[in-house]
Amino acid sequence: MPDRHRTVFFVSDGTGITVEMLGHSLLTQFDGIVFNQMTVPFIDSVEKAQACVSRINEASATGNGRPVVFTTLVNAEIRETIRKANAFVLDFFESFLDPLEAEFGRSPRTRSAGRTARGTQRATPTASRRSISPSPTTTAPRPGTSARRT
């Protein structure tokens, strides 16, 4: 019988908004599974990726099945580090950017997803999701709210 509880990680080198939206659109297709969702933003170095792999592997040891990891990581070395986790890893950028690169005959820009046209980062806090970061960061407040430490 398939697991009814699964841990899902949304891993990004930016804010995590893009990977969350894409991942959620896929997860909503599966009824009857409770997803423990964790967003891990700003994984922009191999060291941070290794710390993220440790957290994923800890989740794998809980017995709720192999974690599912959705990523939007630009750097190939960081992607390879995340793939070493004991998890089912789905990389959106590799799945879509590589074929687009072949189609367009040019490389994509190397800026992270989840950024606005001006290159500023958007805030991501929501009450229903936990955000895990390797070091504490303060996100910009939304209108009508105060800054929050994640």
- pTM score of the predicted model: 0.71
Q: Which domains does the chain have, with CATH numbers?
A: 5-139 (3.40.50)
Instruction: Output the pLDDT for position 148.
Output: 46
pLDDT at residue 86 is higher than 50: yes
Specify which residues 6 forms β-bridges with: 35
Only one residue has tokens 């017995």, namely 63
Q: Is the pLDDT of residue 144 over 60?
A: no
At residue 4, the pLDDT reads 87
Largest CA distance in the chain: 48
Residue 117 has pLDDT above 50, yes or no: no
* Mean pLDDT, range 135-149, rounded to an integer: 46
128-134 mean pLDDT: 46
Q: What is the mean pLDDT of the chain?
A: 80
Q: What is the pLDDT of residue 64?
A: 84
In 3D, which of 4, 10, 74 has the Cα closest to residue 37?
10
CA-wise closest residue to 17 among 104, 99, 92: 92
The helix (run of H) or strand (run of E) holding residue 25 is helix 17-27
Q: What is the pLDDT of residues 43-85, one digit of tens each?
A: 999 999 999 999 999 999 988 899 999 999 999 999 999 999 9
Query: Which is nearest to 69 in space by CA: 47, 101, 99, 43?
Result: 43
Beta-strand runs (E) in 43-129? 68-72, 88-91
Would you state the pLDDT for residue 95? Answer: 86
Q: 9 with 87: CB under 8 angstroms?
A: yes
pLDDT confidence of residue 3:
61
Q: Which amino acid is at 114?
A: G
pLDDT of 139 above 50 = no
- The pair phi, psi for residue 7, each rounded to 5°, is -95, 135
